[in-house]
């Protein structure tokens, strides 16, 4: 099992820089990084580096670290006007161009939210049909580049796709080897996704595994959000890590990477180096404990 670092862990650490993260992830032994689009957009706009600088870093044969995913194309579904739909596809074109420069073969896609605020009250069926149609269009753009799409359901009430079973049903219906699910442990727990559905799933359709712990919060509570995430195994972490690992093994997860992703404000008080060092220790310990054989 290889180990990955997601910049959700350190995106707001002082003087954050994706380019620095690459060196630090390399230094502390990560195999992969998920680059957060919000960091890229913000830091490129500030002139810290260019996509080509990052591309040159990955192209350097001295470097072992690879980019696992572009994280993420956000709010891809339930667009109402042609203009909105075209904007999603234009964004995808830009992300594909960036991924080609970075040697990245996976784009995480995140569902839209806050339907009520837009005067919409879609059913699960309507959401599923829309997402399937959009993902089928997106695959056509990704296929020539060998880029895969990984749908990340998000465990909060306002999200249109907020449980594993809904994301998996969409991926099954799209039925493409290039479209899978991102299984984020926090998101799975936060809206009470069904272990029965995960246990019956085809592990090959899970492309990305986001590892984290979390405080124990009521399902769907408005204050149960990403900020409650913890390094796995920290005091107060309520997740059943053995069950996640054993289930992934049993269903044939082939992603071969365990990616740490927390968004805890306290951890942003660390320097980026302290944050990445700690993330590496915790991820290595997790893999040693649950994937030793
Ligand atoms: Zn995640």
| pLDDT tens digits, 188-215 | 999 999 999 999 999 999 999 999 999 9
Cα separation of 5 and 21, whole Å?
A: 9
Cα separation of 290 and 268, whole Å?
A: 27
| pLDDT tens digits, 255-290 | 999 999 999 999 999 999 999 999 999 999 999 999
Give residues with Cβ within 8 angstroms of 53, minimum separation 6: 19
pLDDT value at residue 147 = 98
73 CA to centre of ligand 1 in angstroms: 13
Cβ contact 178:232 at 8 Å: no
277 CA to centre of ligand 1 in angstroms: 20
Cα separation of 213 and 260, whole Å?
A: 10
Burial of 286 (0-12, 13-18, 19+ CB in 10 A): buried
136 CA to centre of ligand 1 in angstroms: 22
263 CA to centre of ligand 1 in angstroms: 9
pTM score of the predicted model: 0.97
The yes-or-no verdict on residue 236 having pLDDT over 70 is: yes
| pLDDT tens digits, 172-187 | 999 999 999 999 999 9
Cβ contact 104:69 at 8 Å: yes
| pLDDT tens digits, 76-92 | 999 999 999 999 999 99
pLDDT value at residue 114 = 93
145 CA to centre of ligand 1 in angstroms: 24
154 CA to centre of ligand 1 in angstroms: 8
Burial of 54 (0-12, 13-18, 19+ CB in 10 A): buried
Helix (H, G, I), strand (E, B) or coil at 283: helix
Alpha helices in the chain (DSSP H): 18-27, 37-45, 51-59, 82-102, 124-142, 164-174, 185-190, 195-200, 241-250, 272-290
128 CA to centre of ligand 1 in angstroms: 20
152 CA to centre of ligand 1 in angstroms: 7
144 CA to centre of ligand 1 in angstroms: 26
């Amino acid at each position: 099992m290889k180990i990955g670092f997601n910049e959700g862990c350190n995106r707001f650490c002082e003087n954050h820089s994706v380019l620095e993260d690459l060196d630090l992830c390399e230094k502390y032994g990560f195999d992969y990084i998920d680059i957060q689009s919000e960091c890229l957009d913000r830091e490129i706009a500030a002139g810290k580096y260019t996509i080509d600088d990052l591309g040159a870093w990955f192209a350097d044969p001295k470097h072992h670290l690879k980019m696992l995913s572009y994280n993420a194309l956000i709010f891809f579904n339930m667009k109402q006007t042609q203009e909105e739909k075209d904007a999603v596809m234009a964004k995808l074109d830009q992300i594909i161009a960036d991924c080609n420069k970075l040697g990245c073969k996976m784009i995480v896609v995140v569902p839209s939210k806050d339907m009520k605020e837009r005067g919409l009250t879609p059913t699960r069926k309507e959401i599923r049909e829309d997402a399937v149609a959009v993902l089928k269009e997106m695959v056509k753009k990704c296929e020539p580049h060998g880029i895969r799409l990984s749908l990340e359901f998000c465990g909060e009430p306002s999200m249109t796709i907020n449980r594993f079973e809904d994301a998996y049903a969409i991926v099954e219906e799209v039925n493409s080897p290039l479209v899978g699910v991102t299984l984020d442990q926090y998101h799975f727990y936060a809206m009470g996704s069904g272990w029965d559905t995960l246990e019956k799933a085809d592990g090959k359709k899970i492309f990305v595994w986001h590892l984290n712990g979390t405080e124990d919060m009521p399902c769907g509570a408005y204050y149960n959000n990403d900020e409650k995430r913890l390094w796995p195994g920290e005091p107060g972490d309520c997740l059943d890590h053995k069950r996640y690992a054993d289930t992934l093994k049993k269903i044939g997860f082939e992603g071969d990477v365990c990616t740490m992703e927390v968004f805890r404000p306290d951890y942003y008080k660390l320097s980026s180096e302290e944050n990445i060092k700690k993330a590496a220790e915790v991820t290595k310990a997790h893999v040693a404990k649950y994937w030793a054989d």
